[in-house]
Amino acid sequence: MAILLEVTVNAAKGQAPGSGAPRGGPQSVPRHTFQIAFDSTKEWRLRAPMTPYWRAMFGEAMGRWKKDMAGSWVCMDAKGKTTLLEIRRVDSLRGEVFFWPRAGNRGAVLYDGSGTWKPSDTPQAKTWAGIAVKGGAGAGVSGEACFGAVMELWGKNDGGCSFMTTTGRLGAVAGFSGGLALVYATGFASAKEFNGFASSGADFALAFGPKIAGAVSPAWAKVAKTAQGFDGSAELVEGIVKGTNPKYATLRTELPGIAKSISSAALIDPEEQNITVIDVPLAGGGAELGVFYGWSSTKLMSSW
């Protein structure tokens, strides 16, 4: 797990706790922004480029973290004893930040520094975005096939791959889905890792909730407009993502921006392998809504 949060702190004056705190009394920091990474090992760390004010604020640039009863993420020192920073309203995907804690009345904790946080939209390694054509129909036992092509979102955005995913379903699914879709994948360090990827579990035919759908809707509209007359062939899908089809150059350039919108609308773990296919309104052959148990397997078709 390496979830990135972008933190903006207000201009403040206070004292960093812990053994690494600077001496000489309270420290002043201006309003500025930095990133914090949260790992599944319950460790946190400041991300480069390092803010020049980190020592005055925290004393330490890494430590342990926990989730308290209120759902806040509490960053502590390396020994896990002293609170340095508190991230609040995590479930809202936006919230407040408090630092420089001090004792209050009746055991309460007061903070001299404050700020805000949001999910980082920094392109991370192991994240991919692209497009796919897919189709599926039936109720009870049904199936879906998807041919997709994705581009890596780190480095120069010049690497990518195409793949075929087949999915079986058991459940109540009505209607038919087909046409153009958006692909967002995480956790794949290279194209070869797509080959043989399999997943299963309960899911919704509409994969993402309203927060993410709302974040990418404006970009979706652009894609739908650009994709008018899309013939749905596998060769065309690969050509768009590789950038070899000038007719759809605008569509390809939209992909990194759409991926940033998704990243900023949810706390997504880029280390966890997952392929999510999102229907693009107005660009498909129908509509589908249902709850099902699905199992899928992926085969790598090509890479570049």
pLDDT per residue as tens, the chain (304 positions): 578 899 999 988 887 765 444 555 677 899 999 999 998 789 999 988 888 888 888 888 899 999 998 889 999 999 998 899 999 988 777 899 999 988 888 878 889 999 999 988 777 788 898 888 866 544 444 456 778 899 998 877 679 999 988 876 444 433 434 467 778 888 899 999 999 888 765 443 333 455 565 666 666 666 656 655 666 667 778 888 888 877 777 778 888 888 877 776 777 777 778 887 776 554 443 333 333 345 678 899 999 9
State the pLDDT at residue 176: 35
pLDDT at 91: 77
Q: Which of 19, 216, 2 is nearest to 126 (CA)?
A: 2
**Domain edges within the chain:** 2-119, 127-303
For tokens 């780190």, name the residue: 154
127-169 pLDDT per residue, tens: 898 888 866 544 444 456 778 899 998 877 679 999 988 876 4
User: What is the sign of the dihedral through the CA atoms of 82, 85, 89 and 91?
Assistant: negative
What is the reported pLDDT for 304? 92
CATH class of 2-119: mainly beta
What is the structure's pLDDT at 226? Answer: 62
pLDDT for position 154: 83
Q: What residue has token string 């342990």?
A: 64
Contact residues for 248 (Cβ-Cβ < 8 A; gap 6+): 226, 227, 236, 239, 240
Strand pairing report for 32-39 and 2-9 = antiparallel
Amino acid letter, 95: G
Rounded distance, CA 134 to CA 125, Å?
Answer: 26
Q: Which residue has the tokens 């702190």?
A: 9
What's the rounded Cα separation, in Å, for the pair 237 and 255? 13
Residue at 140: amino acid letter: G
User: E-assigned strands of 187-270?
Assistant: 198-204
